[in-house]
Amino acid sequence: MLYCILLVLSVLYLLEKKMWLTTFLLFVISCIIITYHESSGMANHATVFTVLFAVQSIAYLQKRLNNSFDLSFFRVQYCLQIIVAMYVLAGISKLRASGISWINSGELFSLQVVKNYSFIYFAHGKEAAINEGNRIAQQLIDYNLLLKFFLASSLVLELCCFVALFSARLRTLYTFALLGMHAGIKFIMAIPFGVIAPPMVIFFLNPLYWVIIAFEKTRAFIIFNR
């Protein structure tokens, strides 16, 4: 029943109908579905989607209460702020747990790599996963200095993510930097891209906008050269 309601709300969202109410209900329904799923122990940390609907609902409600409210700006700006806050909080949590010595925890990352690849082995029976995990773990130990550099870089990226709010150019640079960080995590530790990555790309880079711009320029070029 919840999925059926979610489907209807998604259609209304795409059609931009009653947006303050639609986004609020999307917030409530997605919160119920995601927390129910993650309560089983399958933690995907997908609650970022819930919060994005919540802040969009706030923006649409503000527009409803104040007609001069700049909705086109703040419905995006609020989402940007939430995504930035999540990256910054991820960096702060590392400092709270381990302090600056977190960047020196290469051996612990080696254990995490073996653990993650062991999950793949036990889930799918792929013996090559165990060998791959051991190989990568040993490389992390052998190239510990390089690992420290990447860990320090990822910590700085997360803690300084707020600069992405300053300009579109900085957001574009940060998009590729964060994608590089997520790709490195996936390649080394066999951890899939975090669910925060898709909304980060959508709101930081706005790829559909660039696709439309490229299409319009290509069409204008073809018409001009006929």
Query: pLDDT per residue over 155-189, tens digit each?
Result: 999 999 999 999 988 999 999 999 998 888 877 76
Taking Cα atoms as reference points, which of 22, 9, 5 lies closest to residue 60? 22
Q: What is the DSSP string of 53-111?
A: HHHHHHHHHHHHH-TTS-HHHHHHHHHHHHHHHHHHHHHHHHHHHHGGGGGG-HHHHHH
For residue 106, pLDDT beyond 80: no
Task: Report the pLDDT averaged over residues 86-110.
Answer: 84
Confidence of residue 147 (pLDDT cuts 50, 70, 90): confident
Structure tokens at 190: 């066999």
The pLDDT of residue 190: 65
For residue 129, pLDDT beyond 70: yes
The pLDDT of residue 100: 85
The pLDDT of residue 20: 92
Confidence of residue 112 (pLDDT cuts 50, 70, 90): confident
Angle at which helices 197-204 and 47-65 cross, to 10° = 40
* CA-based torsion, 208, 59, 6, 2: positive or negative: positive
For the chain, what is the mean pLDDT? 86
The pLDDT of residue 80: 94
Task: Report the pLDDT averaged over residues 218-225.
Answer: 80
Most confident of the ranges 93-97, 107-111, 157-161:
157-161
> Are 177 and 125 a contacting pair, CB within 8 Å?
no
For residue 128, pLDDT beyond 90: no
Domain boundary assignment for the chain: 1-69, 98-226
CA-CA distance, 6 to 27, in Å (whole number)?
10
Q: Calculate what percentage of the chain has a pLDDT beyond 90.
A: 38
* Counts of helices then strands in the chain (DSSP H, E): 10, 0
CA distances to 40, 109, 115, 140, 161 from 103, in Å? 32, 10, 20, 13, 18
